Amino acid sequence: MKIYKNIFKFLCIAALSFTACDSDNDIELNEPSHRVIYTSQMDFGNTIEVGNYITFGDVSPGVESRKWTFPENITSVQGAETSDDIVKAYFNKAGVYDVSLNQTFKNDAYVDEVLKGKELDTVIVVTVLEPISISVTANYINPDGTLGAALNMADGAKNVLEASRSIRYTYSVVGAPENTTWNFEEGTPASVENTETVDIKYRKMGVFGFDLVAERGRPFGEAMVAYNDFVEVVPSTDPVGLDAVYNYQDYIALEFSREMDPATLNAADFSVTIDNNGTIINPMIESAMVDAVEGNRILLSLLNETAYNDDTVTVSYTAGSLATLDFVAADSFSDVPLVFVGNNILDNGTYDFGFENSLDTNWKDLGWGAPWNKYSFRVSTAQAYDGTNSGYVEIQPNGGMIMAQVDNDGAFVTFDVEAGKTYELGVWVYVETPPNYAAGAIPPDIRLYWAPATNWGVGPNPEINTNFKFGEWVYSSKIVTFSVSGPTRINLRGDNQSNSEVMKIYLDNLTLIEANLRP
């Protein structure tokens, strides 16, 4: 009997097991309803070029029916509608289009983590770009600065231009390139990025070309125009001008408006004066030579002396035999200041030190209240020390200005500095007319403060008194140190409180370079 009892027990356990298994099989699993849509270009703004495609996918669980709707006569989708879960659509016309998806679910569907209804509508915006193409026009710039005749846009055109004059180049473009780069053979400047209109000066005689490249990363696209032997620079009867004086390697560089004749150069015709906080130094000029590469540049070497950033250095020339290669004699000049150049820390790809890539709205009032809000600002093409643009400010009578650069999201644009290191902080300024302030009053000025931890005693940079040079570009700078390392911004402050007239100022090429001080 014991054996039969054990068999009976085993059969009962087996029966219970089978019953349990049958019970499990009777459980109904509910499929969730959840919107899940993708496109093959979703990580790139759903942007493509004409003739290419985007794959649209609806992998939403719980869908009972769907309908994709595409713009009519734009894509390869027949009838502009389909119920397929995966759709490969070619776009054949440039523009911005809506692709719609209507879905009906078994149950209320989740969108992300939010429960919505059973019927959902989704719109996907697609941008279709033309292939990149560019065209260029060019005009002479007349001696008075007005726009002159159009040039012949052809390879080998050899448009004739007198040395030291300029040509204005302008491009038009389709296809939304991300970057454009001009390259000018023997032009000044030689290369310009992301600027639609550029003025190029030619100082050397010869026959030169140029090219322009436009490109974007995704969708990939590129186009180039190139003109060989486009401009022929010939001798000029214009007076030769001194365009700049600056430090270059161990020399003082004099940059003239066109190439100079080395045979006419005499070092004795030049003189240099160095003023270091009232101590005057008159160094001897050891040598003078024409730069072997840049023939419009004369290099002066000082005997046992060096120019330092905290010096005020001026150069003079007494007319002698110096002449250009096209036989025009150089005129005398006196006390032309040297501008120190170097690696501009503000040229970091984001700070718009030359006002070439920012909008009016990118220069924000800092909210100091009256009188510092009594001004207007705009990015202007009326005057430019370098490039095409400058910052134009009108400060009201007895008013002031305080502003700083911000990006399109309103965040301050910064650059990095090192605490304790010495820098030269400068700006080019063009003031239209003299101020009108009472005798003994503090003259108007511009000051370049910074944040964080500015030095409020940094002083005018520049002071705009009655001796200021009006109607021309003037460089002003201060030697500064920063007490805090890391991201820093410039606060541009203008003070016109003593002036009964509107002060009209152009600002360009803000500069911050490491300074080398006199021992």
One domain, residues 189 and 114 = no
Band of the pLDDT at 237, cuts 50, 70, 90?
confident
> Is residue 374 situated within a structural domain?
yes
Best CA proximity match to 510, nearest among 451, 434, 446, 442: 446
5: its two tokens: 């009892």
Give me the pLDDT at residue 15, please. Answer: 36
User: Is a pLDDT exceeding 60 seen at residue 20?
Assistant: no
One domain, residues 498 and 410 = yes
Find how far residue 87's CA is from the centre of its chain.
40
The number of beta carbons lying within 10 Å of the beta carbon of residue 59 is: 12
> Is residue 447 situated within a structural domain?
yes
One domain, residues 121 and 151 = no
Average pLDDT over residues 396-422: 97
**Cβ 188 vs Cβ 255: under 8 Å:** no
One domain, residues 252 and 174 = no
**Cβ 39 vs Cβ 124: under 8 Å:** yes
One domain, residues 256 and 292 = yes
Phi, psi dihedrals of residue 330, rounded to the nearest 5°: -80, 140
Give me the pLDDT at residue 362, please. Answer: 97
One domain, residues 84 and 64 = yes
User: Is a pLDDT exceeding 80 seen at residue 14?
Assistant: no
The number of beta carbons lying within 10 Å of the beta carbon of residue 26 is: 7
The number of beta carbons lying within 10 Å of the beta carbon of residue 367 is: 8
Q: What single letter denotes the amino acid at residue 363?
A: W
**Cβ 89 vs Cβ 54: under 8 Å:** yes
> Is residue 6 situated within a structural domain?
no
469: its two tokens: 């040079």
Residues in a beta bridge with 102: 67, 121
329: its two tokens: 């004699």
Domain holding 97, by residue range, is 37-129
For residue 283, say if its preceding peptide bond is cis, omega within 30 degrees of 0: no
Average pLDDT over residues 456-481: 96
318: Cβ contacts below 8 Å, ≥ 6 apart: 269, 271, 332
Average pLDDT over residues 44-54: 94
Residue 222 is part of a domain; what is its CATH number?
Answer: 2.60.40.10
- At 264 the three-state DSSP class reads helix
User: Is a pLDDT exceeding 60 seen at residue 356?
Assistant: yes
Average pLDDT over residues 357-374: 96
186: its two tokens: 């023997």
One domain, residues 381 and 482 = yes
End-of-domain residue from the set 104, 129, 154: 129
One domain, residues 198 and 300 = no
> Is residue 510 situated within a structural domain?
yes
> Is residue 60 situated within a structural domain?
yes
Best CA proximity match to 510, nearest among 419, 396, 444, 413: 413
Distances (CA, A) of 431 to 298, 386, 446, 467: 30, 16, 11, 12
pLDDT in tens, 75-115: 999 889 999 999 999 999 999 999 999 999 999 999 988 99
User: Is a pLDDT exceeding 70 seen at residue 28?
Assistant: no
> Is residue 23 situated within a structural domain?
no
User: Is a pLDDT exceeding 60 seen at residue 446?
Assistant: yes
CA–CA dist 44, 322 (Å, integer): 60
Q: What single letter denotes the amino acid at residue 156?
A: G
Whole-number average pLDDT of the chain: 92
Please state the pTM of the whole predicted model: 0.71
Distances (CA, A) of 339 to 246, 425, 504: 5, 12, 24
Give me the pLDDT at residue 168, please. Answer: 96
User: Is a pLDDT exceeding 80 seen at residue 409?
Assistant: yes
Band of the pLDDT at 413, cuts 50, 70, 90?
very high
Q: What percent of the chain has pLDDT over 70?
A: 94
CA–CA dist 275, 405 (Å, integer): 34
CA–CA dist 189, 475 (Å, integer): 19
Q: What single letter denotes the amino acid at residue 372?
A: W
CA–CA dist 234, 103 (Å, integer): 72
Q: Between these two residues, 70 and 237, which has the higher pLDDT value?
A: 70
199: its two tokens: 């003025």
For 129, counting Cβ atoms within 10 Å of its Cβ (0-12 exposed, 13-18 middle, 19+ buried), the class is buried
Band of the pLDDT at 403, cuts 50, 70, 90?
very high
Lowest mean pLDDT among 28-42, 50-64, 79-93: 28-42
Best CA proximity match to 385, nearest among 506, 505, 255, 247: 506
CA–CA dist 479, 337 (Å, integer): 16
End-of-domain residue from the set 183, 213, 234: 234
User: Is a pLDDT exceeding 50 seen at residue 477?
Assistant: yes
291: its two tokens: 């730069």
- At 8 the three-state DSSP class reads helix
One domain, residues 277 and 386 = no
The number of beta carbons lying within 10 Å of the beta carbon of residue 215 is: 16
End-of-domain residue from the set 203, 234, 265: 234
Q: What single letter denotes the amino acid at residue 217?
A: G
The total of structural domains in the chain comes to: 4
Q: What percent of the chain has pLDDT over 90?
A: 88
Count of helix runs (H) and strand runs (E) in the chain? 1, 38
Average pLDDT over residues 361-365: 97
Average pLDDT over residues 491-500: 97
Give me the pLDDT at residue 29, please. Answer: 55
One domain, residues 436 and 496 = yes
256: its two tokens: 């003239």
> Is residue 7 situated within a structural domain?
no
> Is residue 105 situated within a structural domain?
yes
The number of beta carbons lying within 10 Å of the beta carbon of residue 450 is: 21
One domain, residues 381 and 252 = no
CA–CA dist 61, 216 (Å, integer): 37
430: its two tokens: 């063009």
One domain, residues 508 and 367 = yes
pLDDT in tens, 192-219: 999 999 999 998 889 999 999 999 999 9
